[in-house]
Structure 1
Amino acid sequence: MATGTGAEGLDPVAAIALVGALGVGAQWVAWRLRMPAIVLMLLVGVIVGPAMGFFDPARDIGDIYIPLISIAVAIILFEGGLTLNFHTLRDAASGVRRLVVIGAPVGWLLSTLCLRYGAGLSWESSAVFGGLMIVTGPTVIAPLLRSARLARRPAALLQWEAILNDPVGALAAVLAFEVVVVLRTAETVSTAMLTLVLGIGIATALGAAAGVLTAWAFKTARVPEFMKVPVLFVLVLAVFAVSDMVLHESGLLAVTIMGVVIGNSRIPSFEELRRFKEHATILLVSGVFILLAASLDFSTLGQLTWRSLIFVFLVLSFARPVSVLLALATTKLPWREQVLVATTGPRGVVIVAVAGLFGGRLVEIGVADGALIGPLAFALVAASVVVHGFTLAPVARLLGVTASERPGVILVGGSYWTTGFAEALKQAEVPVLITDPNRGNLRRAREIGIDTFFGDILSETAELQIEIAGYKTIVAATDNDAYNTLVATDLAPEFGRENVFQVEREKSSVRHSLPSTLGGQSIAGGATYHELNRRMWRDWTFRVTRLSEEYTIEDWRAKRPEAEILAWIDTSDEIQFVSDDADVAAGPGVRIVSMLPPGEATRERGPNGARKGGDDAGGAAA
């Protein structure tokens, strides 16, 4: 079938392909521009949808696009549940519990008041939409946390709250809607409450049972390795559908509980399953936001008045902060972390998708202003995403609750080379951490004040004790090539393959060589562990040299023909590792991090290895 525009529109295949291309493309552009991806996705969806009329989901895909959004939200929540490991909750457990048990009901009440007196909605619509506004949106929180590099505890608070309150908010809206139905129809209160309690109970039991059954089947090899992901997808869809048949929107609760159970079951191949689900979630989040934005009707938005602006302002500046601060008031959380959580509450996919559903149902039973719920939800999502998307990172830095002020470097393996390298990075004010399971290998680093972690970087202890979000680059530099390759391969999805490096492998026979597809990028011109440490014994030194208009990269290279460039630090103080000189974006203010042979380190050095009378900082040879 041919594609077209205008009244005919696109055929379904082309429309779905367009959604994928726009969503993933928007995420990539946002990554390049270092801006919140959600903002760009909403903008792109509005442009191709209501602004240009090029794409209309209802016209081009058909009625199936609504169920597709519901399924996508279910999978997103399931993946979010998988990430909720109880070990990561630890010191944030009390705060999360209060945000759900106290913060959610208080937020429901305050949101209802904002809708009633701010937006001017009826009590019926206000109560239903107010319950739904408990939701903060894991689809929005996750990408914001990645870009803001928050400290572990506030990040855990925001992540757990977003995941747990998603189904809670949907069920709160269900409860309010059932009450409205009772008041507007002949149904009895006891029947409505029985249906609600039964639905929640079945959803909880079904999700937990499915999680336990899946974990048991995977642990006991009842499911072959190649079928684990397909089986998982089918089970998620089945649990969601069955639970929704009992009580609408309870499927969100069921799949979330299923994900939490599986995520805490220590099943084999869990990392592979989780990463596949993360990739699927990125695609789904992209698609859902494009679909929702493209399906927006400007005429519906035209129903909003100046009171809608008051409503959005009250939610962001009153309802959210007050409910969170009341919930966390008696906890031991530092006030800075409480303020950050209180001022961070972006809304996401679930609230827009479910708001339209309940708005239509309210209209059907005679609540006329239920039609305003959908437009108000979109306005709130758009405003909160833009506000929090651009303010979270600056506010976190202002409050001092980031993992680090600038992205750091993890050096795996304590040696002469890594210790000297870490010393130079520290003098350049780049956060650096050396990890090693041998305490003796860390002695020299501790003596000179380098941060260290005694243990395996791949261990659960490392995951709990190291603020991974504060580090951008990892360099595997132990004397074990196989372990370096394992570290680089295992951590590449988390750090990004462009930020994972390892020392070159020693030449070995074909029988003992490792696949070239595994591991990270080479560093120091492809030098091996032993070559790098031999250089240290021969008095090679590290230097950090600032370039200027008068002193260019060409001037630097002419004076140091044998120097080895390891990385460069841009004018925003972010470090970029390189494999060769061509990767250096040289310019005024850029600093070159390098290793120099003895003959090229000619300037006099101070007592700590710093070069006197220049912009260079040096790391002392071991």
Structure 2
Amino acid sequence: MPINELLLISSILLFLSIFAWKISSRLGIPALLLFLGLGMLAGSEGPGGIYFDNAALAQAIGVIALALILFGAGLETDWSAVRPALGGALSLSTIGVLLTAIIVALFANLVLHIPLIEGLLLGAIISATDAAAVFSVLGARNLQLKGQLLPLLELESGTNDPMAVFLTVGMIRLLTEPHATIFSVILLFIEQMGIGAILGLIIGGCSIWLLRRLDLDVEGLYRVFTIALALFAYGLTAIFDGSGFLAVYIVGLLLGNSSIQKVDRLSRFHNSLSWLMQITMFLILGLLVFPSHLPPVIVRGLFITAVIVFIARPVSVLLALLPIKLTLPEKLFVSWVGLRGAVPIVLATFPLLAGLPTAPSLFNLVFFVVLASVLLQGTTAPLAARWLKVTASSPEEQNTS
């Protein structure tokens, strides 16, 4: 495609995405659903007619976008506000993700007769939640949540991606490497999380030290610096076989909670950048899917969605939050807003690039499950909040744990 046409089409899609967000905020529909829909309409089987079938490019764009989004999320996270919810969030992002993957795998094996390892791969891919997607719905309806619910969901959405990535990579290793064992996968987990956390702390600390001494005449260069910092943190950590997503989030969290005066302005910039990355990622993923390939997976997709929404997610949340002091309605609400987003679709490109025979069908299945999850849970989140009585009627009630 000539560069002039590419720029024109890209700008039109961005404009349409902004209008779509406005529509979604009024109707209470998660914006990502409309972004994906725009990508599908612009694709080869839609009116746009843009042929795109490059899983490697889609994955690369998705990884870069997720790294910048997680950095921005860490930058905006108020540590003093979310610290009380840390235990519950870490439990959800590790134990909860693992339990979700296992439960989905068992049901897929028993009912759909999918081999257990392939079922675990499916469960791993769709185990990550995108709680941030529902915040726009809650904000559009002007709903405030009680106590630590919002910090809990915020931290979970920022910390559960590394676990889902690890499980996905681990299951692919078991499927593609004959000599791989469960023990080697456990070592992979320790290695990825350990290296990700250590390098995240080191890079974050060094970046704070450097920014305090760096005197740039042009303010815009500080923004360039933080973009480079996020990409550097991810790239360096990934080279050392660590979790780049975990490292990026930690770097953003440390920088955002430092005493550097420029942080507020940087946070506003990265909020805008995160929106651009989200829109770009959803549009690309929408382009990647062929709508005609979805009907064969509808029955299985509805079954998997039902298992996640009504069994796997509630069970994993209730068990993961067992020692956490939350009421049953609050835990049920956490369960209900655990909708899927872009991360599972990006992870579904991993088996495609690994050359697994069932990868194309798996990608279409994951895409359908994301659509169904967002449509069901995302649109009903405000109703669930009111029905479960977890909304705050005053700022004091909102801050009461």
TM-score range, shorter chain: 0.7 to 0.9
Match runs of 1:146-185 below 5 Å: 146-147=139-140, 148-182=143-177, 184=178
Match of 2:236 in 1: 242
Deviations for 1:563-598, whole angstroms, at most 9, x for unmatched residues?
xxxxxxxxxxxxxxxxxxxxxxxxxxxxxxxxxxxx
Alpha carbons of 1:192 and 1:344: their partners in 2 closer, same or farther (altered >3 Å)?
closer
Deviations for 1:71-119, whole angstroms, at most 9, x for unmatched residues?
1111111112223332112442332233234322222211222332344
Match of 1:371 in 2: 360
- Cα deviation for residue 263 of structure 1 reads 2.3
If asked which structure has higher relative contact order (CA below 8 Å, sep 6+), I would say: 2
**Structure 1 residue 349 and structure 2 residue 342: aligned?**
yes
* Among 259, 263, 267, the residue aligned to 1:266: 259
Match runs of 1:317-356 below 5 Å: 317-356=310-349
Deviations for 1:366-418, whole angstroms, at most 9, x for unmatched residues?
xx3233221121111111111122111111011211123xxxxxxxxxxxxxx
- Cα deviation for residue 227 of structure 1 reads 2.0
- Cα deviation for residue 63 of structure 1 reads 6.5
CA distance in 2, matches of 1:105, 1:200: 15
Match of 2:380 in 1: 391
Alpha carbons of 1:342 and 1:199: their partners in 2 closer, same or farther (altered >3 Å)?
closer
Alpha carbons of 1:332 and 1:172: their partners in 2 closer, same or farther (altered >3 Å)?
same
Alpha carbons of 1:35 and 1:200: their partners in 2 closer, same or farther (altered >3 Å)?
closer
What is the one-letter code of the residue matched to 1:392?
A: A
Instruction: Report SS of the residue matched to 1:217.
Output: helix
What is the one-letter code of the residue matched to 1:156?
A: P
CA distance in 2, matches of 1:67, 1:283: 16
Match runs of 1:33-72 below 5 Å: 33-56=27-50, 58=52, 64-72=57-65
What is the one-letter code of the residue matched to 1:386?
A: L
CA distance in 2, matches of 1:178, 1:223: 46
- Cα deviation for residue 279 of structure 1 reads 1.0
Match of 1:227 in 2: 221
Deviations for 1:231-265, whole angstroms, at most 9, x for unmatched residues?
000111122223333438x3222212222222232
- Cα deviation for residue 270 of structure 1 reads 1.4
Q: How many residues align?
A: 396
TM-score by length of 2: 0.88
Alpha carbons of 1:316 and 1:34: their partners in 2 closer, same or farther (altered >3 Å)?
closer
Deviations for 1:175-194, whole angstroms, at most 9, x for unmatched residues?
22223333x3x567777766
Match of 1:30 in 2: 24
CA contact (8 A) 1:81 1:263 kept: yes
Instruction: Report SS of the residue matched to 2:385.
Output: helix
CA RMSD after TM alignment: 2.9
Match of 1:83 in 2: 76
CA contact (8 A) 1:136 1:165 kept: yes
* Among 258, 283, 293, the residue aligned to 1:290: 283
What is the one-letter code of the residue matched to 1:112?
A: A
What is the one-letter code of the residue matched to 1:105?
A: L
Match of 1:210 in 2: 203
CA contact (8 A) 2:95 2:320 kept: yes
CA distance in 2, matches of 1:87, 1:24: 33
- Cα deviation for residue 287 of structure 1 reads 1.9
**Structure whose CA Rg is larger:** 1
What is the one-letter code of the residue matched to 2:39?
A: G
Give 1 or 2: higher strand fraction. 1
Mean CA deviation greater in 327-336 or 373-382: 327-336
Match of 1:314 in 2: 307
What is the one-letter code of the residue matched to 1:30?
A: S
Instruction: Report SS of the residue matched to 1:266.
Output: coil
Alpha carbons of 1:191 and 1:123: their partners in 2 closer, same or farther (altered >3 Å)?
closer
CA contact (8 A) 1:106 1:323 kept: yes
Q: Kindly, what percent of the aligned residue pairs are identical? A: 26
CA contact (8 A) 1:121 1:369 kept: no
* Unpaired runs of at least 5, structure 2: none
Alpha carbons of 1:152 and 1:275: their partners in 2 closer, same or farther (altered >3 Å)?
farther
CA distance in 2, matches of 1:87, 1:178: 39
Instruction: Report SS of the residue matched to 1:151.
Output: coil
Give 1 or 2: higher helix fraction. 2
* Unpaired runs of at least 5, structure 1: 4-9, 405-430, 434-464, 469-622
**Structure 1 residue 114 and structure 2 residue 107: aligned?**
yes
Instruction: Report SS of the residue matched to 2:381.
Output: helix
TM-score by length of 1: 0.58
CA distance in 1, matches of 2:176, 2:70: 28
CA contact (8 A) 1:344 1:388 kept: yes
Instruction: Report SS of the residue matched to 1:304.
Output: helix
CA distance in 1, matches of 2:379, 2:84: 28
